[in-house]
Structure 1
Amino acid sequence: MASLNNASWTTGLCGCCDDAGSCCLTFFCPCVAFGRIAEIVDQGATSCCVSGTLYLALASLTGMGCLYSCCYRSRLRGHYGLKEKPCADCCVHWFCEPCALCQEYRELKHRGFDMSIGWHANMERMGKGAPTVAPHMYPGMTR
């Protein structure tokens, strides 16, 4: 079942002035900001370091880090049912990469994440612990 994307972002795309720290981080060190966003959006499946390094490599070698980062914007929107606003995710990242990353960073902060500690520490801090996985059942393999 597809989620309806009609929730509004907690801040606007150009709301950087509301959070000078996030603004500076995404402007001067976008690979760090992206790495932190990716780790939270991936729910700890990828590390901040790996995602940030891949983003830096793509941005440095091809100038196309935005193609990688726009996918995470789409996933973030899907997870929280956010509107694709002001235009398509790829366009937002293509034309205003720093603003897009800053908005995503602020969105996660406003949703209660401490962006500097990563997914697992946030889950502990929120009292959710590590996600549990149900044991696999193998019917027909009994003694």
Structure 2
Amino acid sequence: MSEKQPIISSQPDGYQKGPVVMVQPEFGSVQGKIIIPMTGNREWSSGLFDCTQDVTNCVMVACFGPCVQCQLSSRMGEILCAPVCIPGAMIALRQRLRTLGGIQGSLCHDCLVLNFCGACAVCQMKREMDAMGIV
């Protein structure tokens, strides 16, 4: 790859004195846009029905599901009550977790899993966050 060349431009008077130097991102960029792969490169660290790996988590989700969902939302950097107040928030959180972790999947699969196996999906998400070190 060629060495990155700085782009020099001048601002109109009154904004800044002298030239502005901007450096384009190196890897995975085209005309200053960062390219992110659309598909993940790995599977979930645990299966959807691997609840026996963390029985305490399974019991917590079964008894206090909305509270656990809010905790996961907070761990992902979102507002605490998003899963309870925003329709589809858990789908968005699952998508975000898959993107951050490079996990394979699709929006359609996430919707089906959360609609038909919601508690198991929440347990799987918590196990994945623990494995990834998301606190």
Residue type of the alignment partner of 2:75? I
Larger proportion of strand: 2
Are residue 25 (structure 1) and residue 56 (structure 2) matched?
no
> 1:2 — aligned with what?
36
In structure 2, runs of 5+ residues without a counterpart are 1-34
43, 50, 54: which one pairs with 2:85?
54
Residue type of the alignment partner of 1:40? R
How far off its partner does 1:2 sit? 2.4
List aligned pairs for 1:53-132, cutoff 5 A.
Answer: 53-54=84-85, 67-84=88-105, 88-113=109-134, 122=135
Q: 1:70 to 1:2 in 2, by over 3 A?
A: same
Kept after mapping to 2: 8 A contact 1:32/1:52: no
67, 76, 82: which one pairs with 1:41?
76
RMSD of aligned Cα (Å): 2.0
How far off its partner does 1:39 sit? 1.3
Residue type of the alignment partner of 1:2? I
Larger proportion of helix: 1
How far off its partner does 1:53 sit? 4.3
Q: Taking structure 2 as the reference length, what is the TM-score of the superposition?
A: 0.64
CA distance in 2, matches of 1:93, 1:52: 12
> 2:23 — aligned with what?
none
Give structure 1 regions of 4+ aligned residues with deviation exceeding 6 angstroms. none
Secondary structure of 1:91 counterpart: helix
Are residue 13 (structure 1) and residue 13 (structure 2) matched?
no
How far off its partner does 1:68 sit? 2.5
Higher relative contact order (CA 8 A, sep 6+): 1
Residue type of the alignment partner of 1:99? C
Residue type of the alignment partner of 1:6? N
How far off its partner does 1:78 sit? 0.7
Q: What is the count of residue pairs matched by the alignment?
A: 99
Kept after mapping to 2: 8 A contact 1:8/1:83: yes
In structure 1, runs of 5+ residues without a counterpart are 56-64, 114-121, 123-143
CA distance in 2, matches of 1:71, 1:53: 13
How far off its partner does 1:7 sit? 1.4
